[in-house]
Copies of this chain bind each other. A is one copy, B any other.
Amino acid sequence: MTAARAAATIGIMVTGVLLDIAGVLTEAGAALPGGPEAVARLREAGLPVGYLTNTTRKPKRRVVEDLAAAGYPVDPRAVTTPAAAAVEWLRDNGYAPHLLSHPDLNEDFPASGSDRPVAVVVGDAGEAFTYAALNAAFRHLADGAPFLALAANRVFSDADGVLSLDAGAFVAALDYASGTAPIVLGKPSRAFFDRAVESLGCDPGEVAMVGDDAEADVAGALRAGIAQAWLVRTGKYRDGDEDRVDPAPTGVVADIGEAVDRLLGGAG
């Protein structure tokens, strides 16, 4: 990104903020230092705050509960998850889900038993990514089922702080074997960012995003027309991530605290 563009996008008026959750607000379930205070400062400044996560190992109810437990009280309507986008897609297109995701996510989907044709829905199934489960999903795809990917993230920062395989690896496996390209519903899908921006009641040209995933959070937000996207050096961030994506971040900051400093004009 050129210096001229950075200056232009930093100079705009931000009227709403979107935050990734894991790696930005929390790590292994606990608040990252300074996180709750930083979010509280955004609210005190009168900025609506939305939360959008590609985490598909737990239902939205648990996402909200876990945020509260970590010191982030949030309105469930401010939280955007890929499962909600999938449920809408299935309803609009007349399919029942064949779920390959973490069992805890089941409650976000309607009960099965319909006689609709099947669409394969892949989330981060973790240990449930067995050969048998992947092969069953593959066989539906080989028979022509549509392919929904809740997310396509390469990696996440595991409880031990080391990178682990995220859903995207298994989405790539099924794509390769079946030749069926996935419809990605979570970040970096433009439709997903559009949903989150709508929940703020803002224009995307006046919204800032903060995330730790240079591709899904940052480049995805900028491609979706969001004005600013800040990359934090917490969570899954690794040195040089900002150089591996296009568009490049509006800026790279230490953490959510510094991101909020920048957004509120207190620094830089």
- Residues of chain B within 8 A (CB-CB) of A174 are 169
Interface of A, secondary structure class, is helix
In the assembled complex, the CB of A158 is this many whole angstroms from the nearest CB of chain B, namely: 8
Verify if A138 is at the interface (C-beta below 8 Å from B).
yes
**CB-contacts of A98-147 with B (<8 A):** 125-132, 134-135, 138-139, 142
**Contact residues of A with B, CB < 8 Å?**
125-132, 134-135, 138-139, 142, 154-155, 162-166, 168-170, 172-177, 179
Q: List 30 interface pairs A-B (beta carbons < 8 Å), by A numbering.
A: A126-B131, A127-B130, A127-B131, A128-B131, A129-B130, A129-B131, A130-B130, A130-B131, A134-B169, A138-B163, A138-B164, A138-B165, A138-B169, A139-B163, A139-B164, A142-B163, A154-B176, A154-B177, A165-B173, A165-B177, A166-B177, A168-B176, A169-B173, A169-B174, A169-B176, A169-B177, A170-B173, A172-B172, A172-B176, A173-B173
- Residues of chain B within 8 A (CB-CB) of A126 are 131
- Residues of chain B within 8 A (CB-CB) of A166 are 177
Query: When chains A and B are docked, how far (Å) is the Cα of A174 from the Cα of B155?
Result: 11
In the assembled complex, the CB of A214 is this many whole angstroms from the nearest CB of chain B, namely: 13
Contact assessment for B165 and A135 in the assembled complex, using a CB-CB cutoff below 8 Å:
yes
- Residues of chain B within 8 A (CB-CB) of A175 are 172
Query: When chains A and B are docked, how far (Å) is the Cα of A165 from the Cα of B137?
Result: 10
In the assembled complex, the CB of A126 is this many whole angstroms from the nearest CB of chain B, namely: 6
Query: When chains A and B are docked, how far (Å) is the Cα of A165 from the Cα of B142?
Result: 11
Query: When chains A and B are docked, how far (Å) is the Cα of A142 from the Cα of B238?
Result: 11
Query: When chains A and B are docked, how far (Å) is the Cα of A125 from the Cα of B129?
Result: 14
Query: When chains A and B are docked, how far (Å) is the Cα of A131 from the Cα of B172?
Result: 15
Contact assessment for A127 and B132 in the assembled complex, using a CB-CB cutoff below 8 Å:
yes
In the assembled complex, the CB of A243 is this many whole angstroms from the nearest CB of chain B, namely: 13
- Residues of chain B within 8 A (CB-CB) of A127 are 130-132
Query: When chains A and B are docked, how far (Å) is the Cα of A139 from the Cα of B172?
Result: 18
Once A126-B131, A139-B162 are accepted as A-B contacts, the answer to whether A168 and B177 lie under 8 Å apart by CB is yes
In the assembled complex, the CB of A151 is this many whole angstroms from the nearest CB of chain B, namely: 13
- Residues of chain B within 8 A (CB-CB) of A129 are 130-131, 134
